[in-house]
Amino acid sequence: MSFPYGKPFLLNFNGPNKANVLSNVQCKNCWDPAACHSDLEITDAKCLTVHYKENEYGRRSVFAKHSIFSESDSSDISYFEVFIKTMKQDIAFIGLAEKQQQISFDERIHCGTGIYQYTSGGYLWICGTARKGSAKYSFGVGDTVGCGVTLSAAQIFFTKNGHLLDASQLLFPPSPPPASSSSSSSVSDLLLIPFVSLFSFDDKIEANFGPNFEFDLSVLC
């Protein structure tokens, strides 16, 4: 497989988890109507397509219903993709937000901590800092972009049109367990919520939460 957007990073999978990497990728997630800016609308019954309905401009966000990992997951990897249907001003954002950052649907949330995102301009933002940037990373109408996490390596990765971006430096610190929690599972403590932000009237995207993606997850095994 070729990697036109840079050298891919290597992921470290524990032996017992390797078989679960693909089998536990689920398609149960969707966009949450209760966590959607009023200028956006979720237009399909499966809650996968989002449309910027108002004749306005400015960043408007929608969050998924569930964390990218759940307590029942035994997989080491979780991932989702977004297909860009329309984008008038070449401005869009895809990524993950820590649960406590799910507080506003229109602020420039990439300026805060706990935000990990890929922008249409070709930049990868980690907790308010642009870590990578390249014109070859930029995306627009007709592109499919993705975002995923590997627990064992504590790494976030991004893809464009089925290829890994060079994201070898995109490490993130897993959120510490709540003090009142007796659970030893780091999966349930991450609470990273998929999100998309659109910018212009009539922008439209369609999400894919699995299990079949344009990016072949088996190349990570």
| CB-based contacts of 66, cutoff 8 Å, min separation 6 | 28, 29, 193
Residue 69 resides in a domain: yes
Residue 100 resides in a domain: yes
Under a CB-based contact definition with an 8 Å cutoff, are residues 56 and 201 in contact?
A: yes
CATH number of the domain that 138 lies in? 2.60.120.920
Q: What is the pLDDT of residues 21-61, one digit of tens each?
A: 443 455 589 999 999 999 999 999 999 999 999 998 988 99
pLDDT the model gives residue 129: 76
Residue 215 resides in a domain: no
Residue 158 resides in a domain: yes
Q: Which residues of the chain are under the pLDDT cut of 50?
A: 1-24, 168-169, 174-188
What are the φ and ψ backbone dihedral angles of 5, each rounded to 5 degrees?
A: -105, 20
**Whole-angstrom Cα distance, residue 90 to residue 61?**
16
Count Cα neighbours of 175 within 13 Å in the Cβ-side half-sphere.
22
The three-class DSSP label of residue 145 is: strand
Residue 124 resides in a domain: yes
Under a CB-based contact definition with an 8 Å cutoff, are residues 134 and 122 in contact?
A: yes
Q: Which two tokens stand for residue 107?
A: 């602020």
pLDDT the model gives residue 115: 84
Number of domains in the chain: 1
Which domain range does residue 70 map to? 15-23+65-174
Residue 35 resides in a domain: no
